[in-house]
Structures are given as C-alpha cells and as structure tokens.
Amino acid sequence: MKLRRMVFAAGVVCASVMLNGRAAWAASVDVCSLLTIGQVAALLGVPEVKAGAAPNRCIWTPAKYQKGAGDLTVIVEGANDPSKMMGMGTPVTGIGDEAIQTNSEKSDYAVLHVRKGNTWFNVSVSHVPLDQATKMEQSIAPQIASKL
C-alpha cells in the first residue's frame, strides 16, 4: 500500500511539472526585455514609449499622447495557446515555427499567435485600424521570436 501511494505521489509531481513547468517558465520571462524601446517606438511611429510589465506580459504605450498611435502588448503564453487549441485563426508563414492571426472585425482587434520551439507568445497592437495592426504585429513578431 505504501508503494502505491509513493507511485501515485510521484505521478502527481511529474504531471504537475509537465503541465505547469512551462507556464512557470513563461511567467519568469522578462517580456519587456524581448524588444528595445527603440524597436517599439519605431513600430508605433512615436518618438518615445514607456513599458509596463506584468507577469508574462509587457505593454508599451507612447510616452506622450499622439493621435493615431497604438499600444503594443506581448504576452508569453508558455506551451499552449488557447486560440490554436480551439482551431481559431488563419495560418501565417515565415514567423517563428508556427503562427496564426486572429482578427475580430466586430471589435476591430487583431492578435498574432506565434510558436517558437515549445513557447507560444501573442502580439497585439491596439488603437489602430485592423489592417494596420495586423501588419505591425507581423513585422515585430520575428524580432521577438529571435529572442526566445
């Protein structure tokens, strides 16, 4: 009986590591360090940006309000991407090992989901027209993928 409990406990530990190990790694990534301030400022077309970090994500916004300038959000998801798991999105070639673009015409919101190795990350540009956001996301994503 004692051996059975030990085997069960070992199985629980292994499963926890397999399921959460990558998520823990994703939370430990300094997402704001994946891009320079200059790269983001050039993408958004503003002279200067500020970065706001949170667990597994970074949001860059213009340092001073500029009409028509967007915000950039990068989120490191870890080993799984919910949109990919649900079969959503349109495949995009030439970015990371795999990429899909999800767009919502109703909310005028686009998200690029990229897998590099075993890690998925999302890139979204908000407050700009949908077609512009999609182009911006696809232009900056390879620079992020190169750091993972």
Among 129, 78, 120, 124, CA closest to 99: 120
Q: What is the pLDDT of residue 89?
A: 86
pLDDT, mean of residues 4-14: 33
Query: Do the beta carbons of residue 77 and residue 121 sit within 8 Å?
Result: yes
pLDDT at 145: 94
56 half-sphere exposure, CB direction, 13 A CA radius = 15
Q: What's the confidence (pLDDT) of residue 28?
A: 67
pTM of the model: 0.78
pLDDT of residue 4: 39
Structure token digits, residue 124: 């979204």
> What are the structural domain ranges in the chain?
2-145
User: pLDDT for 20-48, tens place per residue?
Assistant: 444 444 446 799 999 999 999 999 999 99
Query: pLDDT tens digit string along 73-120?
Result: 999 988 877 777 777 789 999 999 999 999 877 777 899 999 999 999
Q: Does residue 2 register a pLDDT over 70?
A: no
CATH of domain 2-145: 3.40.1000
